[in-house]
Chains A and B, each alone.
Chain A
Amino acid sequence: MTTHDSDSRALVQRIQEAWTPPPTDPRRFDAQLRSRLRAQGRQRTALVVAAAAAVLLVAASHLLGGGAEPAPTLALPQAVEETPAVASAGAAAQGVFWSEALDHDQRGFSLPGAYGALDTLFLQPTDQEL
């Protein structure tokens, strides 16, 4: 064994002896661990119950409302299209949309052009609003 090795061994041994944590009380440690295990078990149970309740709720709503009409919001686009002012504005804007989106020098689709067209489509006031 070299001096270097024996020095290292002595150093390690001293570190081992001097650098140890205060002793742990096994009873307290186990009691804490048990308490945390129980808490974990309760959390899991609560999660399972919540998941089961959610599934039951979805199933019940499906059974009770199975033949219901679609939600009113689904019919909204059609209702909007039916307004003459909106329909004409939409038709005009559609033309603007594609022409602006095709860029100034006809090279193809451009994002600024598309944004401008979208502004025209959704933000321009109709004649009625004016």
Chain B
Amino acid sequence: MTALSTTAAPELALATSRDHRFAELVDKHRDQAVRIAWRLTGEDRATAEEVAQDAFLRAYTGLHRFRDEAELSTWFFRILVRQASNRRRWRGLRRRWGDLWGSSGPGEVEELERVADVSCDSADPALRDRIACAMDLLSPGQRAIFTLVYLEGFTVTEAATLSAIAPGTAKSHLHRALKTLRAELEPQRQELGP
């Protein structure tokens, strides 16, 4: 059983079905949630874990309203994708704010330092960094759909549902994302290819 359930504090004892369901959800999707958050936000692991926890907290709060009309996991991942998207948008706003005003408070510096330490300008960046830089060139929608479909194994329809867009738009995102990544990572074909 999950660490969450076995070591739960008395007030969180899994007496109710909601708690039981929640513990199962966390246990089953913890790793994938962190991985998706990490890939969608492009930030460090701690931030990805925070985003995943935010999504779990929201799921816990709204679990009593869940009507079983969709899969619980689909519902949860939709929350997660939205959380990650909000996180990216918020980071973009803070950066723009910093650029506009030319200074950032201690909190903002700490916040910006949490972005994964990737050097896109380096002459010989590591393969991981090159991929991260290429992913940063994608629009948020393309990045989300590419990650969900190609890296996480969701179908195009599922990914479209999770991102709250039409399947046709998702297909278009997927096509453009792949085109951009192929172009960007072409010089590394020898290293990337089989």
**Residues of A bordering B, CB below 8 Å:** 7-8, 10-12, 14-16, 18-24, 26-27, 29-34, 36-38, 40-41
Q: CA of A11 to CA of B131 in the docked complex: distance in angstroms?
A: 11
**Residues of B bordering A, CB below 8 Å:** 2-4, 7-9, 11-12, 26, 30-31, 34-35, 38-39, 45, 48-49, 52-53, 56-57, 60-61, 127-128, 131-132, 135, 150-151, 178, 181-182, 185, 192-194
Contacting residue for A41 out of B11, B45, B132, B194, CB 8 A? B11
Is there contact, CB below 8 Å, between B128 and A32?
no
Is there contact, CB below 8 Å, between A11 and B185?
yes
7 A-B pairs with CB atoms under 8 Å apart are: A11-B192, A16-B151, A21-B34, A21-B45, A34-B4, A37-B57, A40-B61
For chains A and B in complex, what number of residue pairs have CB atoms within 8 angstroms? 91
Q: CA of A30 to CA of B1 in the docked complex: distance in angstroms?
A: 12
Q: CA of A32 to CA of B59 in the docked complex: distance in angstroms?
A: 16
Query: Which residues on the B side are within 8 Å of A7 (C-beta)?
Result: 182, 193
Query: Which residues on the B side are within 8 Å of A30 (C-beta)?
Result: 2-4, 7, 26, 30
Q: A10-B192, A11-B192 are in contact. Are A33 and B182 (CB under 8 A)?
A: no
Q: CA of A1 to CA of B151 in the docked complex: distance in angstroms?
A: 20
Q: CA of A5 to CA of B120 in the docked complex: distance in angstroms?
A: 28
Is there contact, CB below 8 Å, between A10 and B132?
no
Q: Is the interface of A mostly helix, strand, loop or mixed?
A: helix
Q: Is the interface of B mostly helix, strand, loop or mixed?
A: helix
Q: CA of A117 to CA of B4 in the docked complex: distance in angstroms?
A: 71
Query: Which residues on the B side are within 8 Å of A38 (C-beta)?
Result: 9, 11-12
Is there contact, CB below 8 Å, between A32 and B45?
no
Name the residue on B nearest A28 (C-beta): B49
Query: Which residues on the A side are within 8 Å of B52 (C-beta)?
Result: 29
Query: Which residues on the B side are within 8 Å of A37 (C-beta)?
Result: 12, 57, 60
Is there contact, CB below 8 Å, between B4 and A21?
no
Q: A7-B193, A12-B150, A21-B38 are in contact. Are A36 and B57 (CB under 8 A)?
A: yes
Instruction: Identify which of A12, A37, A41 gathers the most chain B CB atoms within 10 Å of its CB.
Output: A37
Q: A16-B151, A26-B2, A37-B12 are in contact. List 13 more A-B contacts (CB 8 A).
A: A11-B182, A16-B150, A18-B131, A19-B131, A19-B151, A21-B45, A24-B45, A27-B7, A31-B7, A33-B26, A34-B12, A37-B60, A38-B9
Q: CA of A20 to CA of B39 in the docked complex: distance in angstroms?
A: 8
Query: Which residues on the A side are within 8 Å of B60 (C-beta)?
Result: 37
For residue A24, give the distance in angstroms from its CB to the closest CB of chain B.
Answer: 5
Contacting residue for B57 out of A14, A19, A29, A40, CB 8 A? A40
Q: CA of A21 to CA of B132 in the docked complex: distance in angstroms?
A: 11
